[in-house]
Amino acid sequence: MTAPIIQLHAVTRRFGAQIAVNEVDLVLRPGECVGLVGHNGAGKTTIIKLMLGLLRPSSGRVSVLGQDPATPAGARARQALGYLPENVALYPALTGNEILTFYARLKGADLAGNKPLLARVGLAEAAARRVGTYSKGMRQRLGLAQALLGRPRALLLDEPTSGLDPALRQSFYALLREVRDAGAAVLLSSHALAELSGEVDRVVVLNRGRKMADGDIQELRRLIGILPRIRLRLGADAPPCTRSRLVGWQEPREGVLEIECAEAEILDRLRALPDAAQAIEVVRPTLDDVYARFLRDEQVAT
């Protein structure tokens, strides 16, 4: 198995009496995109700051390319990380070119890569404009450009699609797929669960600083016990005996029938449907559904 780029082992971080991160194990490997999900205060941003070496763990161990990022020896490892904070603060009097040049020099990156990088995030025509004239979405894209400086081994992105319209979100995720496919690890902290489902390889669910689950969406569905549903309507000319053949089907609202079944059973269920079945739909639990069930079960347990 490929050696991890970032690893957290039994990491806890306290702020006085408050436990922000509680005994978390987490691994980021090359070529994977991981979604970090949880409500405000779940510990997402604290975990990213621990990876960046901006915070030290109260207990446990953080490793970036085999080094502790919070130590002088970890400086080289920190240079291999790209970071986009949730709220991008950029000096408004400087141009996009000047901002990227400033960060490239801080990181020791080749300045020759700045122009193509600005074009890559869609800011080539605005590069000579002052950042104070940029929209929120443009500032977010400039922040992404600085995170990509120096071809980072891992990208840590905190609510990265904030301020982006749907078209820009699509291009943003296309860019992340390129970065991941080139071998970098990508960590996406986001509240936009619906858009993460098709973009991440794994999802890590946090609640009150604890890691509740870690796996792909199928694994999380199995873990939480949420099954897909088949939903249909019967045609007006369906013979009366049709309903009696649909054993186990429920009618949550008039004219609509549905049944829960395991993923492996879906095809057989569909093949067995009567000819009178219409508007057939397979409804699989979304990441929002899975996350809501995790929170509900946690509340019941406590």
Question: Could you write out the three-class secondary structure of 203-260?
Answer: EEEEECCEEEEEECHHHHHHHHCCCCEEEEEECCCCCCHHHHHCCCCEEEECCEEEEE
Mean pLDDT on 40-50? 92
Tokens found for residue 163: 């301020």
Mean pLDDT on 74-96? 91
Domains of the chain: 6-222 (3.40.50.300), 227-284 (no CATH)
**Euclidean distance between CA atoms 157 and 292, whole angstroms:** 23
Mean pLDDT on 53-72? 95
In this model, does residue 158 exceed pLDDT 60?
A: yes
Tokens found for residue 90: 């950029």
Mean pLDDT on 62-86? 92
User: What is the predicted pLDDT for the residue at 197?
Assistant: 79
Tokens 């970065």 locate to 179
Coil vs helix vs strand at 156: strand
- For residue 169, CA distances in Å to 20, 89, 161, 164, 221 come to 30, 20, 6, 6, 26
Confidence of residue 299 (pLDDT cuts 50, 70, 90): low
Tens-digit pLDDT profile for residues 247-286: 889 888 877 899 998 888 999 999 988 888 889 999 988 8
Tokens found for residue 286: 């979304």
Asked if 192 contacts 163 with a C-beta cutoff of 8 angstroms, the reply is no
Q: What percent of the chain has pLDDT over 70?
A: 97
In this model, does residue 22 exceed pLDDT 90?
A: yes
User: What is the predicted pLDDT for the residue at 196?
Assistant: 83
What are the beta bridge partners of residue 59? 12
User: Which has more pLDDT, 42 or 223?
Assistant: 42
Report DSSP state, residue 68. -
Confidence of residue 183 (pLDDT cuts 50, 70, 90): very high
- Scored b (16 or more CB within 10 A) or e, 77-96 reads bbbbbbbbbbebebeeeebb
pTM for the model: 0.83
**Euclidean distance between CA atoms 171 and 193, whole angstroms:** 18
User: What is the predicted pLDDT for the residue at 1?
Assistant: 64
